[in-house]
Amino acid sequence: MSADNLSQLKQDAEAAIAGASDLAALDDVRVAYLGKSGSISAQMKKVGGLPPEERKTFGAEVNALRNAVTEVLEARKLLLEKEALAQKLASEALDMSLPARPEVQGSIHPISHVIEEIEVIFAEMGFMAVAGPDVESDWNNFEALNFPANHPAREMQDTFFMEAADDEGKPYVLRTHTSSVQIRHMTEHGAPSRIICHGRTYRCDSDQTHSPMFHQVEGLVIEKRVHMGHLKWTLQSFLNRFFEQDDIPIRFRPSFFPFVEPGAEVDIGCTKGQGTLKIGAGDDWLEILGCGMVHPNVLKSCGIDPKEYQGFAFGIGIERLAMLKYGVSDLRTFFEGDVRWLEHYGFAPLGEAA
């Protein structure tokens, strides 16, 4: 084929490309010219059979032709893709100004609602909300929190292990608590620090009062001079606000968590009646959270000097708080996705109770 014919072929190809009105038609054109048995490919195949002096010039011309046509084709493809997207967006456009249909309006899950309430209260106290991943390394979930390998406290946590392991061969875990986020935050940002973090946590445990997936909020404060008094004030203020009472009775009971020293569990005063529970009065106590002064080993693991900084931390079960505040009696109902339950316990998206 002569150069003239090649330029004719180019013109034809370009016209066909310009005439392709959608992506499918354009692909047909591509196949017809550049596909395995396409007409430009046919010219390419001829190159090998030509005498050497012709091979060089003809080869270069066919190559240039192929490149030029490919370029025009790609440009057209981009254009058609853009058009197709614009068309799709136009056809899927939603009129956001239409009023909601009450019969299909969803509600906010009590867990989400409580998380928001907690975040607002702590934000007013100067806490920043941070997040961490559900799949954690052994280091972040255990080791750096002062749970040495084989320490019996690990067993309290009924861990779900992943198949994948880290560089040291230790399997990743589904985090058993949000305390792992303390490690991430201190390692990355050092001290001082004042954060809360909420999220899903997992333990291999399931009955009326335990769900294999549940939610926690973790709080952490690291300062140069901070003590149990600050911790107590912070929790008391939070609980008063959360339960909307002036002075919720609370008591601190010594308890053990490897990552704090001293460690405590906090109970709130309540009255337990027949199938009822009243928060804030009476002579019964209900455990609601764990807390303590951050263990020096934990600070060291995160590169913070325990002689310079101290801190306190606390971990609260969100389901427990939601059950107490909104009178949900069975933990499992949170996760059943029953629409009637959600209609009853859910919150209207615009603020008032549903």
Whether residue 279 contacts residue 243, with contact meaning beta carbons closer than 8 Å, is answered with yes
Q: By CB under 6 A, tell whether 291 contacts ligand DAH.
A: yes
Q: By CB under 6 A, tell whether 318 contacts ligand DAH.
A: no
- DSSP 8-state code for residue 60: H
* Closest C-alpha to 130, from 84, 188, 173, 49: 188
CB of 266 to ligand DAH, least distance (A): 10
Q: By CB under 6 A, tell whether 313 contacts ligand DAH.
A: yes
- What is the per-residue binding string for ligand DAH in 105-144, x denoting contact by CB under 6 A? ----------------------------------------
Give the whole-angstrom CA distance, residue 2 versus residue 14: 18
User: Given the complex with ligand DAH, which of 88 and 227 has the nearer CB atom?
Assistant: 227
User: Given the complex with ligand DAH, which of 108 and 293 has the nearer CB atom?
Assistant: 293
Q: By CB under 6 A, tell whether 311 contacts ligand DAH.
A: no
Give the whole-angstrom CA distance, residue 13 versus residue 187: 60
User: Given the complex with ligand DAH, which of 26 and 289 has the nearer CB atom?
Assistant: 289
Give the whole-angstrom CA distance, residue 162 versus residue 330: 29
CB of 240 to ligand DAH, least distance (A): 20
Give the whole-angstrom CA distance, residue 224 versus residue 194: 12
Interacting residue with ligand DAH among 179, 193, 234, 301 (CB under 6 A): 179
Give the whole-angstrom CA distance, residue 213 versus residue 46: 67
Question: Which run of H or of E encompasses 61?
Answer: helix 52-91
Q: By CB under 6 A, tell whether 257 contacts ligand DAH.
A: yes
Interacting residue with ligand DAH among 222, 260, 298, 323 (CB under 6 A): 260
The owner of tokens 């790609």 is 74
- DSSP 8-state code for residue 127: P
Interacting residue with ligand DAH among 292, 334, 346, 347 (CB under 6 A): 292
| Contact stretch for ligand DAH (CB under 6 A) within 23-31, 129-137, 270-278, 308-316 | 308-316
CB of 265 to ligand DAH, least distance (A): 8
Interacting residue with ligand DAH among 290, 321, 322, 323 (CB under 6 A): 290
User: Given the complex with ligand DAH, which of 20 and 260 has the nearer CB atom?
Assistant: 260
Q: How many residues bind ligand DAH (CB under 6 A)?
A: 12
Please work out, in degrees rounded to the nearest 5, the angle formed at the alpha carbon of residue 340 by the alpha carbons of 339 and 344.
Answer: 115
What SS3 state is found at 333? helix
Interacting residue with ligand DAH among 10, 177, 295, 320 (CB under 6 A): 177
Whether residue 187 contacts residue 172, with contact meaning beta carbons closer than 8 Å, is answered with no
Q: Where are the alpha helices (DSSP H) in 92-129?
A: 110-124
Whether residue 198 contacts residue 132, with contact meaning beta carbons closer than 8 Å, is answered with no
The owner of tokens 């589904």 is 174
CB of 208 to ligand DAH, least distance (A): 19
Backbone Cα Rg of the chain: 33
Whether residue 220 contacts residue 185, with contact meaning beta carbons closer than 8 Å, is answered with yes
User: Given the complex with ligand DAH, which of 279 and 294 has the nearer CB atom?
Assistant: 294
Q: By CB under 6 A, tell whether 280 contacts ligand DAH.
A: no
The amino acid at residue 308 is E
CB of 172 to ligand DAH, least distance (A): 18
Interacting residue with ligand DAH among 122, 238, 309, 314 (CB under 6 A): 314
Q: By CB under 6 A, tell whether 199 contacts ligand DAH.
A: no
- DSSP 8-state code for residue 52: H
Interacting residue with ligand DAH among 238, 315, 319, 323 (CB under 6 A): 315
Positions in the binding site for ligand DAH (CB under 6 A) = 177, 179, 218, 257, 260, 263, 290-292, 313-315
